[in-house]
Chains A and B, each alone.
Chain A
Amino acid sequence: MRNNFTLIILLLLLYFSTSAIAQEIPVSGKVTGADQGSPLPGVSVLVKGTTTGTTTDANGNFSIQVPSSNATLVFRYLGYETKEVQVGNQSVINVTLSTDTRQLSEVVVTAMGITREKKALGYAASTVETEELVQNRQANVLNAMQGKVAGATITSTGGAPGQGASIIIRGINSIDPNRSSDPLYVIDGVLIDNTTSTFGEGAELRGMSNRLADINPDNIESINILKGGAATALYGLRGANGVVVITTKRGQEGALRVNFTSTAGIEEVNKFPDMQDTYTQGYLGVYDPESFWPSWGPTVEEARQIDPTHPAELYNHFEDAYETGHQYRNSLSFSGGNNAITFYSSISHLRHEGVLPFTDYENIQARLNTDVKLSDKVTTGANFTFVNSGGNRYNADRFNESLSYWSPRWDVTDYIKPDGTMNTYRNNNPIYGAFTNKLEDDVNRFIGGLNFGYQPKEWLGFSYRIGLDTYTDDRTRTAPGPRGVADEIVYEDNGLGFVNEYTTKFRAINSTFITTLQSSFGENFNGTIRLGHELYDRKVKSFGVEGTELAVFDYFNLTNARFLTSVQQEEEYRLMGFFGEASVDYKNLLFLTLTGRNDITSSLERSNRSFFYPSVSLSYVFSEQFDLPSFINMGKLRLSYAEIGKDALPYSTSSGFANYTGLPTGYTGFTRAALLGNEDLRPEFTNTYEAGLEMSFLNNRLGFDFTYYYSLSKDQILNIQVASSTGFVRAAVNSGEMRNKGVEIALNAVPVQTNDFSWDTKLVFSANRNKILSIREGLEEIPYASQFGYVGSTVTLKLIPGQPYGNIYGSHYQRYYGPGEEEDPLFIDENRPIVIGANGFPVRAPLSSQKILGNSQPDWVGGLTNTFRYKNLSLTSLFDARQGFEKYNQLGNFFAAFGIAEYTENRNETIVFDGVLKDGTPNTKPVFLGQGIGPDGVNYGNGYYRNVYRGVSENFVEDASWVRLRSLTLSYTLPSSWFEDIFVRNASVSLTGNNLWLSTDYSGFDPETSSAPSGSNVDAFAGFTYPAVRSYLFTLNVGF
């Protein structure tokens, strides 16, 4: 394949070089840009209707031979409007090109901070600019990108303050579910950490932040998302999941500018599940105000006759338990400089109080960016960010689970007694849990980078950059012990009180050195060669002490605990890469880029540690070559191929013995480590092919960008879960193939543009298809996650060859198969009737039959942004859609088991289930749906919902597809005439609504939320999550 590719390129080159032959009249001139009047290098100059052409040199000069004086020259330059000039009798033609405001991001930041013209790129590039990013005022950078990037699926795991968000670029590409699909993040050349640490007992369910949440989106100038192997090739294996290149705002030469932005807002839960409101506390229809069972009692009216204190209506305990959240963020920035030094500095403060009581998050940060130009040849710069972030996190899973047990006969908000103990009829009060059972994190982070540039010759440059990302993450987890007052009911999770202290120290250094050689050779060729060296060195150390049984019930100090246990873990990782990139362009219309990188990693054994992989990409701006109809402004074809390597998670090659934690102080024990390591692990490789077409029309008022990609990962390194009868929990293996293919489409249009009014629209769409081609030999499946469901309705996520990632397997109803008809072992045939048992109830197939009930990966995702501007007013809406995926609703399972779901209202009905008996004849037996003795005198025991319904996973794997109005922003720029006499330079106000509208068939909370922490590939569970929120924000921006 690679050889063929090279051959094609050579042929193309040959074709173009032979086509430039005819020469008659010499014409020369200079091309300048209308914006700054400076000469434009690299402008395409073409004789209309021919393939004859040239490009301007570094000073904007060109010379060309035209066939006759009738010839017309076409001047084309990306970012500028195309101009045609008839030659006539002129021999010198000076042209000024006016800027094309529609042509954004003509220059893009690519791998290693290298800026390249967009047209030279042989792969798709997606950019989100600052205005788009801050438009919906999201505190987390990833949330701010939602719906704006083709090829990226971005998910907010829940609505907690500071809660993590996940991004998956072009599908999950590792079979190992424990390997994050998180891309690499680079801020101004510093490789930063975006893990979501779940260190510390119970942290995985507490909605911890992904570390990118530390970054204030207000400081970002642009984000470039590098998606395929060719785009990320220079970053090496750490870029295997894509790279998010963040460029922060920098100072501009000139007077000091001050900018102040303030946002304040409120939020509420955007969607609650439906609940029955007829039946009250008790079991078997018997009222009991202290029953564990919240809703299997009699009707409210019946209960009121027994218990006059019973409220006339049940509480809506879910809606009552959640509050209105609040947030505000203030950012202040200063920027300016002279021709030698420019700077940008900012400070900001975010405070966010969530909808779940007693959850909050705070982020304070300061940033400084400076650029120094020591001479024409030497530049240097530095950027520093300091962040303090963290807050009170609560276990939303536990909160909602406890809410499910809570009887709506009682007011859940009345959670505390005057003596400080839990107020409850008996079950745990979830609000008291949130009030007392705490986890607070406190992160101090420093990100810094220094860069040096030396350009001794025009054709030669050196750059060096060193970056540091370091933080300490302190977590304190506490719960009070019993107060020892009479009749005290202790909140279950608090036990006898505990105090746990955890600290994680993270440090990563990266160093990058690049040499750039540039030259043009021959008349039509320009070439650039870059050679580089990169080093990444990371060290993470976590330790903690857990103290239980507090002597003084609310004194949260380790010395106050009766039992102490300690936990500790360390990880070191080192990676070095040598890389090179050679790019050649021909006449500014054909661009060829070759890259190669050799990585040396510490996570593989010596013999497999060093490996090389190449990429090649081609960009062909065919509109520069052919005389296309005038309504076509630009056309470009892209082709690329890349191979990219990947190493193992640290320490996957070694086994050993871990500390056994069950012993008290004074005893030491070791136990076999959970992972069976594998010394022979080899690097895994992913091959990606990508093709794309980019065009713009009608003076760039319409444009599209289409990409197709195909990637195949082989020899994957997996830590698979193994049966505990092996004596291990996981085993490291080198096996399996996975394929992703998909399309990405971006459409831009300006349907209306007048002086006062404009309408811009942008659509992004992407669809990915994943398939597991093979797993380990001898294994039929790899189960990687499961979530509990009552009596056999637990669902499992499994990888099975031939099936895509994300399939949800679970129990299902028995369908009728006639004699000789074969049942598909994996899929349910929905068209077949359900088999009804002799007792008149639907029959669940044997639990050994676990079928595919859904898939958590969407068929497609899309975002539609519309911006309407009228004079100083603008309105932006963002619709976001994720379609064709399913999730397991654990909350729904509990709602069935506890008679909370709205559909259980029919529990006192007698019905005939639709279906057939074992012999295929229609079922006619009427059955009572409730508990105990039915009207027919038969004892129905615990009733249909507990005996049958809750035990069938099929009932709880739901279509989670959604379309939402992600955001709507109305903003008004105050007329500058208002500020003529005062120091204010500009000002604007805006109102933003997030998640204003949601359309979904899913019955639980907003299905975007997820039970697993951000960064996890397990996204199929959305039961007891921190619910998503709808927020209303007011923003004021003033520039001085």
Chain B
Amino acid sequence: MKRYLRYTLAFLLMGALISLQSCEDYFDLDENPNLVNNPPLPTLLSTTTQKTGLNSQRVGSITSFFVQYLASPVAGSSTDTYEVTDYTSTWDALYLAMADIYDMKQKAQEQEAPNYVGVANILMAYHLMLVTDLWGDAPYSEAFDQSTLTPKFDKQEELYNVILTLLDEAVTELSKNDSRVALSPVNDLIHNGNKNNWIKTAYALKARQLNKVSGTTAYNAQAVLAAVEKSYTSNADNADMGVFATINPWASVARNNALLILGGWLSEQLVEHLKGTTTGIMDPRLQKITDPTVTGAFIGTPNGVGNVGSASSTVKDEVYISLNSPITEEDAPLIIVSYPEVKMIEAEAAFRAGNRQRAYNAYLEGIRASMQLFEVSTAAANAYINSPEVSVGAANLTLNLIFKEKYVITYLNPEAWNDARRFDYAYAGFTLPVNAALNTFIRRVAYPQGEASKNPNTPETPPLSDPLWWDK
């Protein structure tokens, strides 16, 4: 028995030796080599500003069907015809971007970098606008902060106020001059580190937001005008993002379409609008938006109908998103909010406030600035602007004219759908898509499966014809 003890002892000693050699540090592999813990603020700025631009396009690629900028080349396509469609990937992209924005804000606060806090607020406000204008109620107060795995959904009305607060705070934070980390011009993919432009963007978004409630008692035209006044003064101030891993995502749609991976077909509604069939005058921006068909004509595709030209899709007998357009060419920046749009907001608010002259001036300036953005020649722009259909005089200005012009200005921008809903889709010649799943225009989209399946707080989606809070 003794020998057992001896050998057992020897073994145990050996075991102890081995474990001593392989000291505790050997197992300290909890630092994930694929991750970093404290990314510098500029590296979060590049991520969040790019995601913001891309998400604007991502949402635009849904809403552009609802406002009939685009039409599917395939009959009965789901987004085109108001079917309940699962936009989980869009939702995820928005929320994961908001998480990055949230983190950037936290880190900026820790590092006493108010300018980053300000930018984070603006980007967050913009994302919230995208989210709530698609779905209505949405998680925010319990989102991203690791407090719960099932955040509650905040009421849209509350989110509306959150957005305004975020924008106001953004102005305060950006106005501070004691930021320990300056906005990095290289990593700020929207305003190249220009604080003043960020402040203007905060006001532009605020104007947009205040104007959105035009149909409710909360609407205050003077407040809109006050925001507009502190906002953009030229296209040089526009919030846009033009840094892509490859090319502008709209350009990529256009390029795929050229390779017969069909997409980006312009709706008959937009084309007829620009041709003047429904408005009375040919808009020179048409040729800057798209290229004529093989026959030199401009032919759009009716929504819900699919390809109506010759059966062959190799013949370019409809018009599409173009690689030659300043809005959708390969290196075109994605426009988030622009000077021309702000001018139209001003026109609408002034009009509603009864200041027709201011409204009219803003209306004409908006069109002019838009022509500039679309790179329309001055002569063609002037010809259009000076035409009696456009230059109606302050006394004859109508909301219809303002919405009509804004419809072109917001080409492919998600804001177009907000306008369309506020305007009850009252654009000339605007009709339901063929074989629409609803018997009225679409007012919201369904909560995505991805969130609903993992977050029991996700509300039931009402019929897609039910208006959002601000749209009632």
Contacts and interface: CB of A to CB of B under 8 A. Distances in A.
A573 B29 contact: yes
Interface in A521-539: 529, 531, 533, 535
A294 to B, nearest CB: 13
A196 interface: no
B210 to A, nearest CB: 26
Interface in A667-724: 667-673, 676-677, 720-724
A847 interface: yes
A602 B29 contact: yes
A677 B146 CA distance: 11
B349 to A, nearest CB: 33
Interface stretch (B78-86, B317-325, B400-408): B78-86
Contact of A654 (B32, B46, B54, B143): B32
A658 B4 contact: no
Interface in B114-143: 138-139, 143
Contacts, number: 229
Interface stretch (B170-178, B256-264, B361-369, B412-420): B256-264
The listed residue with most A CB atoms (<10 A of its CB), out of B102, B148, B454, is B454
Interface stretch (B62-70, B88-96, B225-233): B88-96
A549 B298 CA distance: 30
Contact of A724 (B51, B91, B146, B243): B91
A283 B73 CA distance: 13
A651 B28 CA distance: 11
B33 to A, nearest CB: 4
Interface string A284-320: 0000111110000000000000000000000000000
A661 B54 CA distance: 13
B15 A533 contact: yes
Contact of A460 (B7, B96, B454, B455): B7
B221 to A, nearest CB: 34
Given A515-B11, A531-B11, A791-B78, A727 B43 contact: no
Contact of B83 (A720, A729, A779, A791): A791
Contacts of A781: 453, 456
Given A786-B449, A847-B84, A723 B27 contact: no
B139 A792 contact: no
A102 to B, nearest CB: 39
Nearest to B38: A657
Interface string B254-279: 01100111000000000000000000
A258 interface: no
A994 to B, nearest CB: 39
Interface in A624-670: 650-651, 653-658, 660-664, 667-670
The listed residue with most B CB atoms (<10 A of its CB), out of A650, A653, A664, A671, is A671
B75 A283 contact: yes
B91 to A, nearest CB: 7
A727 B453 contact: no
A476 B99 CA distance: 34
A46 interface: no
B22 interface: yes
B450 A794 contact: no
Nearest to A656: B35
Nearest to B26: A574
B47 interface: yes
B245 A563 contact: yes
A839 interface: no
Contact of B314 (A487, A720, A942): A487
Interface stretch (A120-128, A387-395, A603-611, A901-909): A603-611
Chain B interface main SS type: loop
A492 B312 CA distance: 17
Contact of B43 (A654, A670, A780): A670
Contacts of A791: 78, 83-84
A727 B311 contact: no
A783 interface: yes
Given A603-B29, A668-B46, A662 B312 contact: no
A776 B150 CA distance: 12
Contact of B246 (A288, A535, A548, A651): A548
A549 B28 CA distance: 43
B429 to A, nearest CB: 23
Contacts of A941: 435
B396 interface: no
B434 to A, nearest CB: 10
A653 B29 CA distance: 10
Contacts of A672: 96, 99-100, 103
A600 B35 CA distance: 24
A36 interface: no
Contacts of A720: 149
B76 A728 contact: no
B245 A662 contact: yes
Nearest to A457: B3
A570 B35 CA distance: 10
Given A426-B260, A662-B50, A791-B83, A565 B100 contact: no
Contacts of B295: none
A663 B261 contact: no
Contact of B150 (A496, A668, A723, A847): A723
B302 to A, nearest CB: 15
**5 nearest interchain CB pairs?**
A727-B99, A656-B35, A669-B47, A727-B144, A670-B39
Interface of A: 283, 288-292, 426, 460, 482, 487-490, 492, 495-496, 515, 517, 519, 529, 531, 533, 535, 548-549, 562-563, 565, 568-574, 576, 578, 600-603, 605-606, 609, 650-651, 653-658, 660-664, 667-673, 676-677, 720-729, 731, 776, 778-781, 783, 786, 791-792, 794, 796, 798, 846-848, 941-942, 946
30 contacts: A517-B4, A535-B22, A570-B33, A570-B34, A576-B19, A601-B27, A602-B29, A603-B30, A605-B30, A650-B32, A651-B32, A651-B35, A656-B35, A660-B50, A664-B245, A668-B46, A669-B44, A669-B46, A669-B50, A720-B149, A721-B454, A725-B151, A726-B146, A727-B98, A727-B102, A727-B144, A728-B99, A776-B149, A786-B449, A942-B76
Given A288-B311, A490-B260, A677-B32, 20 more contacts: A531-B11, A562-B246, A565-B245, A570-B34, A574-B26, A578-B15, A654-B32, A656-B37, A657-B35, A662-B47, A664-B243, A667-B46, A670-B36, A670-B39, A720-B149, A721-B454, A724-B92, A724-B95, A724-B96, A727-B145
